[in-house]
Amino acid sequence: MQTPINIDPEYLTSRLKALLDIASPTGFTDEAVRYTARELERLGLEVKLTRRGAIRALRPGAAERPARGIVSHLDTLGAQVKALKENGRLELVSIGHWSARFAEGARASIFSGKGTYRGSILPLKASGHTFNEEVDTQPTGWRHIELRVDALARDRNDLVQLGIDVGDIVAIDPQPEFLENGFIVSRHLDDKAGVAIMLAALEAMQREKVETPVDTYWLFTIGEEVGVGASAAIVPEIASLVAIDNGTTAPGQNSDEFGVTLAMADQTGPFDYHLSKKLYELCCEHGIRVQKDIFRYYRSDAASAVEAGHDVRTALLTFGVDASHGYERIHLHALMSVAKLAVYYSASEVQIERDAEEVSGLRGFTRQKVRQAEQELKADEPDVS
């Protein structure tokens, strides 16, 4: 595909705003699934849901195999009620891996059997007028915070009367801000920004009638934050799976809030050599800013698919997130860049035709031949810098 692709920034940001407005901690994703499925149907895709709500949307290509999959996840971090406390407050446990340091001060919704309550997550010693310097010296952790319910809740019995119980889901307010300079600050950009990227890529493909050589499956999972991710959304036709998720712009990392950050490995090991190489070359071909990174403490939908036994090539495209799993910040430039790459990848020609079959002979199997690197610099040359 040589024609420049135009991603609609207003469409992308409007979808992201709408998604952020829908609470979807893991285990409470039905409404986010409904919203996304309806939008995919509006865009003209054939949409199917698994029993629990993972979405598989098909955009037909010239051939059924070797199909491509692109995946992001609808579920976010959150919490659950661990215990009703005698002081009328709630003990919490986290949904997903995130620090209680970032829960302190958050506004939240508690989804009880009688309806939704609002509340604030506070450290156990929240009053400076009472605890003085102990406010600053108390430990950080989920055992050292509690949720104050904005209702008459003086003791445990009041909580019972309100209908609040152990196991109730707690959603953390995203508090999004969309700045005119392109920065977006919010909780839950992981991975609602990834979902918005995929929808924006599809909107552009439908608007510009982009043809693809093979079928593409657009997958949206509901359990990535607890490690199950794309384990149940893959079909046998899919030979390559590209996950779209957040990169980590932190000290010691090469991720960036601008352009595409191509992950070369995470804690589960290297991503597919050939697929990653292709994605990098597509960036270079189409003038998309790209940098590579490796994540030590990270896993994605791609890892879930492989660990579930799916024999698919995997790669990970990321948009750089500052303070991931905390007070997150991204830039629209990265979202637009990843969306463009998703379109160019979907429209690119198949390089490994053998991948159409799940098992076949050596004929057509890939190679990783490399030549000896040539070095032009000589030690006795003068320094001209």
Catalytic residues: 224
Query: Could you tell me if 211 and 347 are in contact, meaning their C-beta atoms sit under 8 angstroms apart?
Result: yes
Residue type, 254: N
Nearest-angstrom CA–CA distance, 318 and 225: 16
Beta bridge partners of 177: 185
- Quickly tell me which residue has 């059924």 as its tokens: 64
Q: 323: exposed, middle or buried (C-beta count within 10 Å: 0-12, 13-18, 19+)?
A: middle
In whole angstroms, what separates CA 160 from the centre of its chain?
36
